[in-house]
Chain A
């Protein structure tokens, strides 16, 4: 019982990171109907860029985030037309083509990273890393790590910024129109190709920044990708495919389930529990927690 506050805070802090892993992934699915298998690899590549930039410049990883976003945003922006070509061919199921193509990208990125960066784990030092806050109240106590708290703040900033972009700007209106009806959006003057490129760039940029953070909080390695791809899938399916507003809640739920299992039960069973819960929820509500997915 004394550990309850700790389990709660750990779950929320972990959930925060999961939001940013899944939110761009969900956006890309909603707008372009691409299930991007390479999400974990974008995180990994971003983490390595952060690692090397930190080594060269000595700057705190949090200060490097904007640069990482710009670099990977540009990569995503330039890559999207290629993906568009692959999924809009006359033959083949677009969803499947996207899946296969991004799966190939993921394998390629992992291979390149293994060759280029080796298979060792690294971590990106941050000034927040050695700070932590300790609270005690009667028999209850909890420790909050500074870097994880900074991660949660980062996640909230990203979420609010994305919400603002989608709900309050003309660009966001176009993005939502595109997601809901492609032809009608074109008739309203939305340039589908360019808007999709921006969205894909934003997603790749966010994923790469999240990678830097994960590199600071946990670790960086060439083989880290698939772990986070699974997280992205879990959160997005639970939230409802393409239902962006459900992502934060699903992410917090995943974080809480993991932290409770780690603290109270067998850590080895965490992933089993996570998927048992996912299956149960999908059995009851196949379109996700809020029954608003597709």
Chain B
């Protein structure tokens, strides 16, 4: 069953149409990827799903409920969360406070002590830095906080917007491992990435986007062996 669906979604920024008739479906427990060049509309797609950007046409359905047009804070309350591009932490707050904002929602308040321990288990580095302010962290640590903060929300679907952007290769590896680990624990993952090679390897299903349109879709394996994709995104 599809846990998340976008049906014929179009988005306009004023006169500029950013998304054209996008349809995407994500099954519960899957790891689905969206790849494409800069400016293809990947970030807009994610922002539209969680309600940060209003859609012009189409609908977004989560667990059988219409969520397009619902304010962001209510969308995330239903169990979808986004780890945004560029982390978007709260710079003046400590690591721990950043994580606790993740447990702002009423349904996550009660178990926040336990979830915090789980996040610290996943990222022991964050426990060491818990009293440091977010702006003083390295890029990799900031990404850990961003992921940890999303996990504090106890989501069913977690969306990542270019989690490897600006990270050193070894950290990219670490981030991908964490994402795979979360996926194996049963979380549904929807990921936008420029790191196509890595992404195709871990994705169950994949969409390719160009100029605001979905131009191709298939399993990670299919796309990896597709000559057009190899040429455009993998460089060989």
Q: Say yes or no: A180 contacts B97, CB within 8 Å.
A: no
Question: Interface on chain A toward B: helix, strand, loop, or mixed SS?
Answer: helix
B102 partner residues in chain A, CB cutoff 8 A: 188
B contact residues around A181 at 8 Å (CB)? 88-91
- B209 within 8 Å of A (CB atoms): no
Interface string of B191-210 (1 = CB under 8 A from A): 00000000000000000000
- B52-A177 in contact (CB<8A): no
Give, as a whole number of angstroms, the nearest-CB distance from B21 to chain A: 25
User: B52 to A174, Cβ gap below 8 A?
Assistant: no
- Is A187 a contact partner of B84 (Cβ separation < 8 A)? yes
Chain B CB within 8 A of A143 CB: no
Q: How many A-B residue pairs have CB under 8 A?
A: 66
B149 proximity list for chain A (CB < 8 A): 188
Instruction: Determine whether the beta carbon of B81 is less than 8 Å from that of A187.
Output: yes
In the complex, B76 has a CB within 8 A of chain A: yes
Given the interface pairs A173-B104, A174-B104, A177-B101, the reply to whether A186 lies near B93 with Cβ below 8 Å is no
Q: How far does the alpha carbon of A185 sit from the alpha carbon of B73 in the complex, in Å? A: 8
**Chain A residue with minimal CB distance to B149?**
A188
Contact across chains for B104 and A187 when beta carbons are under 8 A apart:
no
Nearest chain-B residue to A191 (Cβ)?
Answer: B73
- Smallest CB separation, A185 vs chain B (Å): 7
Once A180-B90, A183-B88, A188-B149 are accepted as A-B contacts, the answer to whether A174 and B71 lie under 8 Å apart by CB is: no
Count B-side interface residues using an 8 Å CB cutoff.
25
B153 touches A (CB below 8 Å):
yes
Interface residues of A in 146-179 (CB under 8 A from B): 170, 173-174, 176-177
Q: Is B132 an interface residue when CB atoms closer than 8 A count as contact? A: no
Produce 1/0 per residue, A179-200, CB < 8 A to B. Answer: 0110111111111100000000
The residue that B76 contacts in the complex, of A173, A174, A189, with Cβ under 8 A, is A189
Nearest 6 CB-CB pairs, A to B?
A186-B72, A189-B105, A184-B88, A180-B90, A177-B101, A189-B73
Q: What are 16 contact pairs spanning A and B, CB under 8 A?
A: A173-B100, A174-B101, A176-B90, A177-B104, A180-B93, A181-B88, A183-B52, A183-B72, A183-B88, A184-B88, A186-B71, A187-B88, A188-B149, A190-B101, A190-B104, A191-B71
> Which A residues are within 8 Å of any B CB, using their own CB?
170, 173-174, 176-177, 180-181, 183-192
